[in-house]
Chain A
Amino acid sequence: MKYIILFSIIISSSVFGDSLKAQTYQETLEFARNQYEQHNYTIALKTFKRLIFFSHGEGLLPLYTKVGELSFLLGDFETSQFNYGLAYNIADSDSLKNELLFKKAYSQILNREYQYAVIDLLAINAFDKATKQRLNFYLGTCYFGLEQFDRSKKYFKSCVEPKEIASVDLMFSDKNLYSPSPKKARIMSMLLPGMGQFYVGKYKDGLNSFFLTLGLVAIGARTAVNTGVIFALVSVVPWFQRYYTGGYTNAEKIALIKRQNNRNSVYNGIIDLVKKNKVD
């Protein structure tokens, strides 16, 4: 029986062998490109990775770049950085190397890995004005993310015309960058519940916190007078502790969010300035 099966396999492969052939490298590449154009990024990424595996070390640069780009589009920033790094190692021209480093750094910035982005950006060889401006902007962004505002300001100043430097200084004022202070909001709410919320401009929250804590104090006092201090400690103090702690924690959280949004406004202002002074 096994000889019959073997014989039929040999015969059928010799007869139909020509029509049965695997997808070639070029066909797979074409397929991957089509998938990319049709925004089927997951399939395109898988296919490009397969192409890298079967490429025998040839034509790797566009493949690594595409894998980096696709991983970036799919939100996998680590894979994106890794592949841009591989592409950078085999890129032959300075401009291409720079572009790949910019892409890698952008991926790192979005992943909040500002320190790594700075390391890569410092390897860029900026030979023209546009690249210098772009590099300074990227570095300024990284230091802004690292909260090293003096360095950040220095780089952003290099991105704009001398007449706009005063505007950058104005944007980087202490009020815009450090206000409201989360620590101050926390301490204020510790001293008087709701005061921290008032300080950050959340009046409704402040009143809510104040009356809630005041109510619990009143209930506690009444219970202590009517039923005894120990009963009041057991029944009311845990609730008081929850809302008192919640009050000052919330005040700090709100201040943090507000400060972050203030910083974001400063950064958006810088983007507008850099766009206005863009070098082509």
Chain B
Amino acid sequence: MSGFSTFLIFVLCFSAIPKSTAQQAKQEVNYDNFRDLFKAKVHKHNWSHHLKESRNELNFVFSLLFLAYKEVFSSQDIDACVFTPSCSVYAIETIKKNGAVLGTFDAFDRISRCNPGRNKHRQIDKKTGKFFDPVKGINRKSQ
């Protein structure tokens, strides 16, 4: 083997090794991935679907009252309800599910239970840290 070819192999070997490592390591920096990193996370509910999903006029009126309550009163209130879903959401859902009369009774029953003392047996919702109490269908025959 001539001296030149030995030199060539030597140079090729040394130029190849760092290149492979560098190629592995070098990555394009995308600064746009950092965009909105410090944006405040606000979770705002949109309750207007209750109005759209109304099945009859009575449901529509209750949904309207619910929306008015949420907009005017609830938005200014402290987070006092011990349940999830909250009493107002529970009320509109139970009225939709069980009808205006039974639903209203169920909603008042729920409001009367809305205190920390009586719910120790209930499952706690991990996300909100509140007592989990979803709407149940009321069996009319057994009433």
* Interface 9-mer from A6-14, A116-124, A137-145, A221-229: A137-145
Separation in Å of the A63 CB from the closest CB of chain B? 14
Are B40 and A246 in touch, CB under 8 angstroms? Answer: no
Residues of A within 8 A of B39 (CB): 260-261, 264
Residues of B within 8 A of A245 (CB): 78
Are B26 and A95 in touch, CB under 8 angstroms? Answer: yes
Residues of B within 8 A of A264 (CB): 36-40
Q: A208-B75, A246-B78, A274-B31 are in contact. Are A96 and B24 (CB under 8 A)?
A: yes
Separation in Å of the B60 CB from the closest CB of chain A? 24
Q: Does B25 contact A (CB under 8 A)?
A: yes
Separation in Å of the A236 CB from the closest CB of chain B? 15
Nearest opposing residue in chain A for B71, CB measure: A208
- For chain B, give the interface size range: 20 to 34
Q: Does B72 contact A (CB under 8 A)?
A: yes
Q: Does B73 contact A (CB under 8 A)?
A: yes
Q: Does A92 contact B (CB under 8 A)?
A: yes
Are A92 and B21 in touch, CB under 8 angstroms? Answer: yes
Q: Does A99 contact B (CB under 8 A)?
A: yes
Separation in Å of the A44 CB from the closest CB of chain B? 19
| Majority secondary structure of chain A interface residues (helix, strand, loop or mixed) | helix
User: Considering the chains assembled together, what is the distance between the CA atoms of A128 and B130 in angstroms?
Assistant: 53
User: Considering the chains assembled together, what is the distance between the CA atoms of A102 and B74 in angstroms?
Assistant: 45
Q: A267-B37, A268-B36 are in contact. Are A243 and B77 (CB under 8 A)?
A: yes
User: Considering the chains assembled together, what is the distance between the CA atoms of A208 and B71 in angstroms?
Assistant: 9
Residues of A within 8 A of B34 (CB): 109, 141, 267, 271
User: Considering the chains assembled together, what is the distance between the CA atoms of A95 and B25 in angstroms?
Assistant: 6
* Residues 101-147 of A contacting B (Cβ, < 8 Å): 106, 109-110, 130, 134, 137, 141, 144-145
Nearest opposing residue in chain B for A267, CB measure: B38
Are A246 and B42 in touch, CB under 8 angstroms? Answer: no
Q: Does B112 contact A (CB under 8 A)?
A: no
Separation in Å of the A103 CB from the closest CB of chain B? 9
User: Considering the chains assembled together, what is the distance between the CA atoms of A278 and B28 in angstroms?
Assistant: 11
Separation in Å of the B38 CB from the closest CB of chain A? 4
Are A246 and B76 in touch, CB under 8 angstroms? Answer: yes
Q: Does B6 contact A (CB under 8 A)?
A: no
Separation in Å of the B94 CB from the closest CB of chain A? 23
Are A257 and B40 in touch, CB under 8 angstroms? Answer: yes
Are B32 and A271 in touch, CB under 8 angstroms? Answer: yes
User: Considering the chains assembled together, what is the distance between the CA atoms of A95 and B22 in angstroms?
Assistant: 7
Are B76 and A93 in touch, CB under 8 angstroms? Answer: no
Question: Would you mind naming 17 contact pairs between A and B with Cβ atoms under 8 Å apart?
Answer: A96-B21, A109-B37, A110-B37, A137-B31, A145-B38, A205-B75, A242-B77, A243-B73, A245-B78, A247-B76, A264-B39, A267-B34, A267-B38, A268-B35, A271-B34, A271-B35, A278-B29
| B residues apposed to A, CB below 8 Å | 18, 21-22, 24-27, 29, 31-40, 42, 72-73, 75-78, 80
Q: A250-B75, A250-B76, A271-B32 are in contact. List 5 more A-B contacts (CB 8 A).
A: A93-B25, A264-B37, A268-B35, A271-B34, A278-B31
| A residues apposed to B, CB below 8 Å | 92-93, 95-96, 98-99, 106, 109-110, 130, 134, 137, 141, 144-145, 205, 208-209, 212, 242-243, 245-247, 249-250, 256-257, 260-261, 263-264, 267-268, 271, 274-275, 278
